[in-house]
Amino acid sequence: MMRLDSQEADAPLFGDDDDDAPTAVRQKKSEIKHPLATFFHLFFRTSAILVYLLCEILSSSFIICMVTIILLLSCDFWTVKNVSGRLMVGLRWWNQVDEDGQSHWVFESRPATSRKVPTNSESQIFWLGLVVCPVLWGIFVFSTLFSFKFKWLAVVLMGVALQWANLYGYVRCKVGGKTNLRSMATNYLGSQFFKQAMAKQGP
């Protein structure tokens, strides 16, 4: 049995010690506080895409290219899930099994009182890399099918699965673990339709 949990922890998240931190106005800064995490947030996923696009130039061996891409995708999944999301935007998600054997998906965000506020630059870089790369892997799936390069299908599907998993997890963290994304999209479209209908009836 699986249950979805959403936690906006009252206790300090990720080991932050906020007891002696004054309650101050959260300022959005433009500097990059975690350059190493920011670098590796983009490095593994862009490297996997580049190796896939340039594999015929880099090596004549399909096995070497495939293993390299899979390793890069695996490193990217671990880095984004466990490191860059926590440091760059204050979000994390994971799965845990309780004593009763029930599986829980936990989506967590850093408390608003935390001193460690994500900067605008890091947040933009994080979400840009998180969204663009899964879309590219989705395009690669269709290009693989249309070009009949079926030997690459397993590789591009793994890219889609791993990167869309992180995207889905962090979107759930952002909007709230108990929020139904489908109903949220439906409500948004409904509100837009209602606004247009009211505008047409106006004077």
Cβ-contact 96, 104 below 8 angstroms = yes
Q: Checking phi first, is residue 152 left (phi over 0); if not, alpha (psi -120 to 50) or beta?
A: alpha
The pLDDT of residue 192? 53
**Nearest 5°: phi and psi at 61?**
-95, 120
Cα separation values, 86 from 21, 25, 89, 91, 114, Å: 19, 21, 6, 5, 13
How do the pLDDT tens digits run along the chain, 203 residues long?
A: 444 454 443 333 444 444 444 433 344 556 788 889 999 999 999 999 999 999 888 888 889 999 999 999 999 999 999 999 988 888 888 877 777 777 777 888 876 656 667 788 888 999 999 999 999 999 999 999 998 888 899 999 999 999 999 999 999 888 874 444 444 445 445 555 545 544 554 55
91-97: strand order across its sheet = 2-7, 103-109, 91-97
The pLDDT of residue 181? 44
The pLDDT of residue 115? 63
The pLDDT of residue 96? 78
The pLDDT of residue 191? 53
Q: What type of residue sits at position 19?
A: D
The pLDDT of residue 12? 36
Other Cβ atoms less than 10 A from the Cβ of 88: the count is: 26
